[in-house]
Structure 1
């Protein structure tokens, strides 16, 4: 199963082809939305910046690498990517919300060929998410728990040299520049799971301990 969430989520409305061209999903463990493909952000913003109650409201659309399939993530409360960004599977791209034509917090998740309305694809077949109302778990949360336990066992200390795991976001879920994953940093501050890293005494980012590895 390849869902836009990490952990448990609920299906609140089914895929019905032309009548409803995607799935409506509600996050349970987390409201952060993650890319389900490697690709390029064709657009991230309001469907109508003059009317925030129209259509998808704030949304992100991503063209999957090597295809003309465009993935839509609608009704977001906030965006974590910008138009033109390159993203990988599991990269945070936004936060679930109720913008646009919506009656409650959820994500509209669909795929359209060429990004053309009416050219919908079977989102259940593509994602592996069942077309049945209910609660599901894509398994990512348990894997994150394992990583966190491993990180705790590393017992990081201030001054340690570390790298950032490829594809990780910062502590607040914001996307990082590609060079960050190639650079060796020093730990400057530790506060529980929140670890501040930097270079030459200057702060670069605050990270989850699970997203750092010894250099």
Structure 2
């Protein structure tokens, strides 16, 4: 495997996991890594692919999704740079349980699993950083599972507003609907219902403003 070009080694500065490394340690990672650029809509890996690499998202944003019934896809989570992607599957050496798609031009540093794990064994601070990343991912996945397991479409929307109101300013309606596994039409109806009941307001400039938090919590189911 060819090392990364020297000029691209600076990308490691944007990954907090590597911020403490010495030049020699960074050189080791550059030697075992591959820097890949993905266009919007390009697949990083498919569900069921062999997990041979750690994926460090340096620039851009990706979507983790699963294929559902009737050719529909369910978005599980979105990751913005800098972030570590699908490290659990890579650590356990199991096929990827979901697919990953670049949803804007993205740069990913792919590092071969076995050489990287050997490096971790020689550098305990890297191991601690990896554990921290895993802990954050577990929390994010728990929130995602709670939203997808909500008893109704209204509960899904209410839980999303409760957990991440800013998403309504970051994403388009069709992307938000996909994020929680409902149709854009259903999302629109649920937002209108919450607005008509005085629970929230919604504007392009300010996004969602929560007016009645107790009522929203009741809608969460």
TM-score by length of 2: 0.25
Greater strand content: 1
More helix by share: 2
Structure whose CA Rg is larger: 2
Normalising by structure 1, we get a TM-score of 0.26
